C-alpha cells in the first residue's frame, strides 16, 4: 500500500494544526455540521484503496454534484452542450450575476451556479424523470449505490435561495432557460443536496481518472475526449475564484463544494477525496486544501 503511510502522516500533521475558516452558514443546515469532521480517501487506478479519519461519514457534497450533472448532460447532448454555456474560468464568485448581463445569459462555465442552473434546465428538458435518472446515473458510477438527496438540506437552501432565484430568472430573461424557473431551481437545490462519503466519492469519480470508464464494471460512461475535457474544466474552474491557486499549490484536476468536500483527480493514477467543513475565504475547505497541497508536495507528482 503505497499511500497509506503518507496519507496517515499528512492527516495527523494537518489535524494537529489550528482548524481555520468558517462553515458555510448561509445554508442553515450546513452550519449544524461539526467543524472537526475530517476524512480522506484515495482510490487508485490499480485498485488500491485507503481511507483515514471520517472517510465513511456522509456529508453534503454541494457543488461537487455539478460534475455529475455536467457529465450526464454532456453524455446526452455531446458538443451541442457548449451552445448553452462556456468553458472559461469566471474570475468572479460562484454565485455572481455580474457577467451574465454582458454575456447575454450564457454562463462562463458549468461549475458556477449560473452554469449549473443551465445544466439543470437541460436535464429537465431531456429526461422524463430527471431527479430519479440523475440519481441512477450517479449510482451506476460505482459498486456502492448508497448516495441520496437530502430533503432537509434542499429545503434549507431553498428557504434562503434568493441569489440562485435571481440568477435563474435573469438567465431565463435572455432565453437560456427553457423550463419554468421554479422547476429548474427545485431540481438545482435537490442536486446540491446530495450526500455521499469520501470513500463513495472516490469510487464515483473513478471514471474521470480512468479515461471515461468506470472502475467497477468498465462501462464507458463518457468518451475519452469528454473525460479529458471535464478534467480540464475541473482544473480551470473547479475551485470558485481560487482555481488558479489550486493549480499553483496542488496541481490536480478537482472540484470543491461548500459542504467542505474536495474531490481531486490525477488522471490514470488516482482519485483522492478530502472532507473538512470549515472553509477558507474563497469557499474551499481549509484543511482540504492544506492536506492536498502537502500530499502532492510529498509525492512530487501532479499533472504538471
Ligand atoms: N448549493 C450551493 C449554492 O448554490 C452550492 C455552492 C457550492 O458548493 O459551491 O450556493
| Nearest CA-CA partner of 46 in 196, 200, 198, 206 | 206
Cα–Cα distance, 53 to 304 (Å, whole number): 29
The active-site residue, picked from 250, 258, 271, 274, is 258
What pLDDT does 145 receive? 84
Domains and CATH numbers, the chain: 3-297 (3.40.710.10)
The active-site residue, picked from 23, 66, 213, 278, is 66
CA Rg value for the chain: 18
What pLDDT does 146 receive? 84
Q: Are 160 and 90 in contact (CB under 8 A)?
A: no
What's the 25 CA to ligand 1 centre distance in angstroms? Answer: 11
Ligand 1 atom at minimal distance to the Cα of residue 193:
1
**pTM exceeding 0.75:** yes
Cα–Cα distance, 301 to 298 (Å, whole number): 8
What's the 219 CA to ligand 1 centre distance in angstroms? Answer: 30
135 phi and psi angles, rounded to 5 deg: -65, -40
Under-70 pLDDT residues of the chain: 1
Residues with CB under 6 Å of ligand 1 are 62-63, 94-95, 113, 157, 164, 192, 257-258
Cα–Cα distance, 107 to 85 (Å, whole number): 5
Residue bearing the CA closest to ligand 1, atom 4: 113
What pLDDT does 1 receive? 55
Q: Are 271 and 209 in contact (CB under 8 A)?
A: yes
Amino acid at each position: 500500500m503505497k499511500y497509506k503511510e503518507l496519507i496517515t502522516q499528512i492527516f495527523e500533521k494537518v489535524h494537529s494544526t489550528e482548524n481555520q475558516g468558517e462553515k458555510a452558514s448561509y445554508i442553515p443546515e450546513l452550519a449544524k455540521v461539526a467543524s472537526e469532521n475530517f476524512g480522506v480517501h484515495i482510490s487508485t487506478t490499480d485498485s488500491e484503496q485507503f481511507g483515514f479519519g471520517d472517510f465513511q461519514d456522509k456529508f453534503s457534497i454541494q457543488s461537487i454534484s455539478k460534475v455529475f450533472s455536467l457529465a450526464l448532460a454532456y453524455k446526452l447532448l455531446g458538443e451541442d452542450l457548449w451552445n448553452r454555456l462556456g468553458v472559461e474560468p469566471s474570475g468572479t464568485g460562484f454565485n455572481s450575476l455580474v457577467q451574465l448581463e454582458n454575456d447575454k445569459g450564457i454562463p462562463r462555465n458549468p461549475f458556477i451556479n449560473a452554469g449549473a442552473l443551465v445544466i439543470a434546465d437541460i436535464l429537465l428538458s431531456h429526461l422524463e424523470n430527471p431527479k430519479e435518472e440523475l440519481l441512477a446515473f450517479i449510482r451506476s458510477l460505482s459498486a456502492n449505490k448508497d448516495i441520496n438527496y437530502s430533503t432537509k438540506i434542499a429545503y434549507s437552501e431553498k428557504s434562503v435561495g434568493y441569489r440562485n432565484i435571481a440568477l435563474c430568472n435573469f438567465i431565463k430573461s435572455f432565453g437560456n432557460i427553457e423550463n419554468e424557473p421554479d422547476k429548474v431551481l427545485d431540481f438545482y437545490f435537490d442536486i446540491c443536496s446530495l450526500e455521499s462519503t469520501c470513500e463513495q466519492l472516490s469510487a464515483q469519480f473513478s471514471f474521470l481518472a480512468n479515461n471515461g470508464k468506470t472502475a467497477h464494471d468498465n462501462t464507458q460512461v463518457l468518451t475519452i475526449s469528454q473525460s479529458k475535457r471535464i478534467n480540464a474544466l475541473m482544473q480551470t474552474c473547479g475551485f470558485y475564484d481560487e482555481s488558479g491557486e489550486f493549480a499553483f499549490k496542488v496541481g490536480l484536476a478537482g472540484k470543491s463544494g461548500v459542504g467542505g468536500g474536495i474531490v481531486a483527480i490525477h488522471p490514470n493514477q488516482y482519485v483522492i477525496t478530502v472532507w473538512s467543513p470549515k472553509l477558507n475565504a474563497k469557499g474551499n475547505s481549509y484543511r482540504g486544501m492544506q492536506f492536498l497541497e502537502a500530499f502532492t508536495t510529498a509525492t512530487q507528482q501532479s499533472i504538471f
